[in-house]
Structure 1
Amino acid sequence: MKHSLKDLSPRTRLAAFALASAVVVGGLLGAAPAQARDYPYCLTSPGYGYPGDCSYASYRQCRTAASGRLADCIVNPRVAFREPRRQDYRTYGDRW
């Protein structure tokens, strides 16, 4: 016996819609915001410009992507020349 949405009472349909909406809104509110990340290695080639495609977490990963192409891997200049972060007392945890 097949059931369709038309067979349900208006109250049941409203409850199903409210439940589905709550699940969607809850999923959206619970999602973590996107974070910018500077990866340490860049794939550089004549087609990419400088510094190139900086989306590689390891040198091996970058070299694998460069394999068989006119490309090379360099250290991401944003990572290499970044000023060191200043540590404050809160970063030491409970050691004090």
Structure 2
Amino acid sequence: MRKMHLVLMTFSAAVLAGFATITPAAARDYPWCARGGDYDYPGECSYNTHEQCQASVSGRLLYCDRNPRFAYGQGLPAEPRPPRRVRPVAPY
């Protein structure tokens, strides 16, 4: 019985350690969205091209439309550039 408790405690610690290291996936919007069906607005926006979207929605009673964040110029904010390093000037 004592061995079983040790195994359960070890397993529980391993599971908790696994959950502690999980990070959320980075959200990324693409220019094309699959819309209709059970998708909420704006839809499943995970397609780079209209052709990719069309291939995905084929036979699923969905349609493709532009992602409103891209269509109206509200794309994802650009990542800030690192500060520029300036080399010091040597005195003459």
Is TM > 0.5 for Structure 1 vs Structure 2? yes
Higher helix share: 1
Give matches, 1:1-96, under 5 Å. Answer: 9-10=1-2, 12-44=3-35, 52-59=42-49, 60-68=51-59, 71-80=62-71, 81-82=73-74, 84-85=77-78, 87-90=80-83
Q: Determine what percentage of the aligned residue pairs are the same residue.
A: 30
In the aligned structure 2, how far is the partner of 1:65 from the partner of 1:26? Answer: 37
The two structures have a TM-score, normalised by structure 2, of: 0.59
Question: Any conservation in 1 of the 2:29–2:46 contact (CA below 8 Å)?
Answer: no
Letter in 1 for 2:20: L
How large is the RMSD of aligned CA atoms in angstroms? 3.4
Cα displacement string for residues 49-95 of structure 1 (whole angstroms, at most 9, x for unaligned residues): 995423322323311133356654222111342254262425x7x8x
Q: List alignment gaps of at least 5 residues for structure 2.
A: 88-92
Between the two proteins, the alignment pairs up a number of residues equal to 83
Question: Any conservation in 2 of the 1:44–1:71 contact (CA below 8 Å)?
Answer: yes
